[in-house]
Amino acid sequence: MNNLERYIYDKIRFSPKIKKSVVNLYQSLFSIVPIKKIQSDYNIVTREGYFFGFHDKCPWSYDNKFLLAHKYKTDLKMPEENDEVQIGYFSGNDQTEFIPLGMTRSWNWQMGSMLQWVGKTNNIIFNDYNGANHIAKIIDINGNLLEEYSKPVAAVNADGNYALSHSFVRLRNAAPAYGYANSDENSASENITQNDGIYLLNLKDGKSELLFSIADIAKYDSDKYLKGSYHYFTHCLISPSGKRFAFYHRWLEKNNQTWTRLLTCNLDGSEIFKFDFSGVVTHLAWQDNNYILAYGYKKSVGDHYYLLEDKTNNFEIIGKD
């Protein structure tokens, strides 16, 4: 953002109602400004009517032959309960031939259906809705169903043996753009619950284990939460080795202000560590098994990209100048 945008943002960032009004006005004004055509020295292939998902997942197969995608026919609006998108992959020269594999009702524009490759195979995992609950499915490259799981996936380790799961109903309640439009869970109505949290899902035998509840993490190295705040988990990301994972603990206050904590732990839920941010952290990625890159806000330092050493308070500011 430019200096003027930065100045305005700093003034309104912690005032949700004002920020929303300013953002809506800003977007409305710029929606009528002609879009500049992209100029590039590279051949850009445009695939109208398709999208992939979130920046923390790779759409390419391990051998770079295929490119995963969702195909949509719905209008560009918030998904409704029965809205479907098609899943499949691009193949052929420049990956321009779309091969459809099936449909899903568990999706959103930000993250899609968590569509991703399973390890170094041509098997594909994604979330779906069975009419009552969010589930996950593994299919082969021909669309044949190989496995079905009782919980949706949020992240899969590099070997394709384990996945992490959390509630997408809680996400819908607190951050609609990241949740799914269908299904209900009794515990999702509770601001803080012992009955839901982050699960470890064994993709080989289908068994799941609750690593910790939302209540457990809300109490861990506790911040001061306003009464009535709604807590949830999101953005699970497993380290390259598969030994640890990062996740956000977020809570939504009644005034619609959202706060975030970044934490890491072992894959079995042990050795939890909370990074020192001032309620704002986003866009994380593991650099390797010991360092995480994330954009965040520290009161004493400001907004920056930070390279964080896991399980320590050591950090390096990236791109300060």
Look at the domain 45-274 and name its fold.
Neuraminidase (2.120.10)
Domain boundaries, the chain: 1-44, 45-274
Residues of the chain with pLDDT > 90, as a percent, come to: 78
For 77, 81, 166, 199, 283, the CA distances from 184, given in Å and listed in that order, are: 21, 11, 14, 18, 28
pLDDT digits (tens, 9 = 90+) for 224-271: 888 899 999 999 999 999 999 999 999 999 999 999 999 999 999 999
pLDDT digits (tens, 9 = 90+) for 113-131: 999 999 999 999 999 999 9
Residue-level pLDDT at 26: 80
Of 138, 193, 130, 135, give the one whose Cα is nearest residue 168.
135
Average pLDDT over residues 96-103: 96
255 phi/psi in degrees, rounded to 5: -85, 10
| Ramachandran bin of 269, using left for φ above 0, alpha for ψ from -120 to 50, beta for the remaining angles | left
The residue with tokens 């999702």 is 188
Is the pLDDT at 20 greater than 90? The verdict is no
Is the pLDDT at 321 greater than 70? The verdict is no
- For residue 302 the two structure tokens come to 């400001």
Is the pLDDT at 202 greater than 90? The verdict is yes
pLDDT digits (tens, 9 = 90+) for 25-45: 888 877 788 877 778 898 888
